[in-house]
Chain A
């Protein structure tokens, strides 16, 4: 049956996200707060979507800041802090770790370092965003 196959795919996807460390136990917390056990139109999907929109915006803002002739590292700090918070709340562990890695570069006021760190954040974010989007599609 198609539904069973999709369910199996979804479960495999979720298992993979946990074992690779892409999501941590906070994501599990979110799943347990879901009423109907699904992920599409429920709480998990809402939070995942909020995270994706938030992160998209923040990453774009950081890129714009780093593009300035004189970089405002305090603002970069504030944005990374915000992204670290969101990723922590949704359980996106690799994005959170990438944000923590970022800190040393804006503290050192290193534009080059920040650009590298942003690239890592962006890469981790793209990975988890794709997985979240697949998860939400599989549930529909």
Chain B
């Protein structure tokens, strides 16, 4: 019993400290029919998601929106950022029970295999070398569809047997 997935555009949260790169990624995503929110730091990204970073002082920007469900289908983040790096952000997201299934893509201007592997091992779904191109955007949807499928499978399992402990894959 396949549930029809809503036709609303997928929502991508883009994180980059460079205003130029934020402009670029926003354009690339919008051209590819994604809904986009851009933030300039990992801390702001966590704020937007409603997660709390113990180390940073959280502004009240998101406070009155805590009741609103933030629906983010994918997070794309720069690796090299002051303060919280993209890798740190990735870890925080993967540690969170509410957001660990959201696909995360890392962008970097440097092609360093150990860096790439570290990110992939931590759960990043994809690694883009900057400058990111329009053709890279087509790689995003498959990750979103896969994670939504996983989500729906989990929901179906829950419906079928609520009292049993579901084995995670």
Contact = CB atoms under 8 A, between A and B. Distances in A.
Interface string A107-118: 000000000000
A89 B27 contact: no
B27 A50 contact: no
A30 B134 CA distance: 10
Nearest to B21: A89
A39 interface: no
A90 interface: yes
A46 interface: yes
Q: B-side binding surface: helix, strand, loop or mixed?
A: helix
Interface string A6-47: 000000000000000000001001101100000000010011
Which among B80, B130, B131, B133 has the greatest number of chain A C-beta atoms within 10 A?
B131
Contact of B19 (A26, A32, A50): A50
Contact of A89 (B20, B31, B134): B20
Interface residues of B, number: 15
A32 B28 CA distance: 11
Given A29-B134, A33-B134, A89-B130, A50 B20 contact: yes
Nearest to A51: B20
Band of interface residues on A? 20 to 34
Contacts of A82: 18
A90 B18 CA distance: 12
A81 interface: yes
Interface in B86-139: 109, 130-131, 133-134
18 contacts: A29-B131, A33-B31, A47-B23, A50-B19, A50-B20, A50-B23, A51-B20, A81-B80, A84-B109, A85-B18, A85-B109, A86-B21, A88-B130, A88-B131, A89-B20, A89-B21, A89-B130, A89-B131
Interface of B: 18-21, 23-24, 27-28, 31, 80, 109, 130-131, 133-134
Interface of A: 26, 29-30, 32-33, 43, 46-47, 50-51, 54, 81-82, 84-86, 88-91
Closest 9 pairs (CB-CB, A-B): A50-B20, A89-B131, A26-B131, A85-B109, A86-B20, A33-B27, A88-B131, A89-B21, A89-B20
